Amino acid sequence: MISYNYQEFNTSPNRYLGLDGENVVVYEEQAEIGRVPLHNLQGIVTFGYTGASPALMGACAKRDVAISFLSGSGRFLARVSGEVRGNITLRKEQYCQTMDSEKSMQIARNCILGKVYNAKWVLERACRDNGMRIDVERIKRKSAFLSESMKRIRVCEQAAELRGLEGEAASVYFSVFNELILQQKTEFIFNKRTKRPPLDPVNAMLSFSYTLLTGMCASALETVGLDPYAGFFHTDRPGRLSLALDIVEELRSIMGDRFVLTMINKKIIKPEDFLQKENGAVIMEDNARKLFLSHWQTKKQEVIKHPYLEEKVEWGMIPHVQAMLLARYIRGDLEEYPPFFWK
pLDDT at 47 > cutoff 70 = no
Contacts of 243 (CB under 8 A, 6+ apart): 221, 226, 227, 228, 229, 230, 231, 232, 234
Q: Residue 68: which pLDDT band, with cuts at 50, 70 and 90?
A: confident
Q: What is the pLDDT of residue 10?
A: 41
Q: What's CA 219's distance to the chain center, in Å? A: 11
- Which pLDDT does position 14 carry in this prediction? 72
Are the C-beta atoms of 314 and 302 separated by less than 8 Å? Answer: yes
- Model pLDDT for residues 302-317, shown as the tens digit of each residue: 999 999 999 998 898 8
Contact 97, 330 (CB under 8 A): yes
**Helices and strands per DSSP (H, E), number in the chain:** 10, 11
Question: Does pLDDT of 196 surpass 90?
Answer: no
pLDDT at position 69 over 80: no
Q: How confident is the model at residue 2 (pLDDT cuts 50, 70, 90)?
A: very low
Residue environment code for 99-118, b if the CB has 16+ CB neighbours within 10 A, otherwise e: eeeebbbebbbbbbbbbbbb
Tens digits of residue pLDDT in 214-260? 988 988 888 788 999 999 999 888 778 999 999 999 999 999 999 99
Q: Is residue 323 classed as helix, strand or coil in its secondary structure? A: helix
Higher local confidence (pLDDT), 276 or 67: 276
Mean pLDDT of the chain: 88
Cis bond before residue 197 (omega within 30° of 0): yes
Q: How do strand 66-70 and strand 43-47 relate by DSSP bridges?
A: parallel
Give the rounded distance of the alpha carbon of 101 from its chain centre.
26
What pLDDT is attached to residue 72? Answer: 59
Q: Residue 301: what pLDDT?
A: 87
Cβ atoms of 91 and 225 closer than 8 Å: yes
Contact 6, 41 (CB under 8 A): yes
- SS3 labels along 85-105: CCCHHHHHHHHHHHCCHHHHH
For the CA atoms of 313, 317, 320, 324, what is the dihedral angle to 10 degrees?
Answer: 0
User: What torsion do the CA atoms of 205, 231, 340, 342 make, to the nearest 10 degrees?
Assistant: 30
Lowest mean pLDDT among 68-77, 270-279, 280-289: 68-77
Average pLDDT estimate for 105-112: 96
pLDDT interval class at 297 (50, 70, 90): confident
For residue 75, the model assigns a pLDDT of: 60
For residues 213 and 4, what is the distance between their CA atoms, to the nearest angstrom?
13
> Mean pLDDT, to the nearest integer, of 45-72?
79
CA angle at 258 for the pair 255 and 261, rounded to the nearest 5°: 140
pTM exceeding the 0.85 threshold for the entire prediction = no
Query: Burial level of 265, CB count in 10 A (0-12/13-18/19+)?
Result: middle
- Whether the predicted pLDDT of 283 surpasses 60: yes
- Phi, psi (rounded to 5 degrees) for 111: -60, -45
**pLDDT above 60: residue 298:** yes
Which pLDDT band, with edges at 50, 70 and 90, does 33 fall under? confident
**What pLDDT, on the 0 to 100 scale, is given for residue 343?**
77
Question: What percent of the chain stands above pLDDT 90?
Answer: 61
Contacts of residue 169, Cβ cutoff 8 Å, sequence gap at least 6: 112, 115, 116, 119, 145, 146, 149
pLDDT band at 6 (very low <50, low <70, confident <90, very high): very low
Confidence bin at 63 (pLDDT 50/70/90): confident
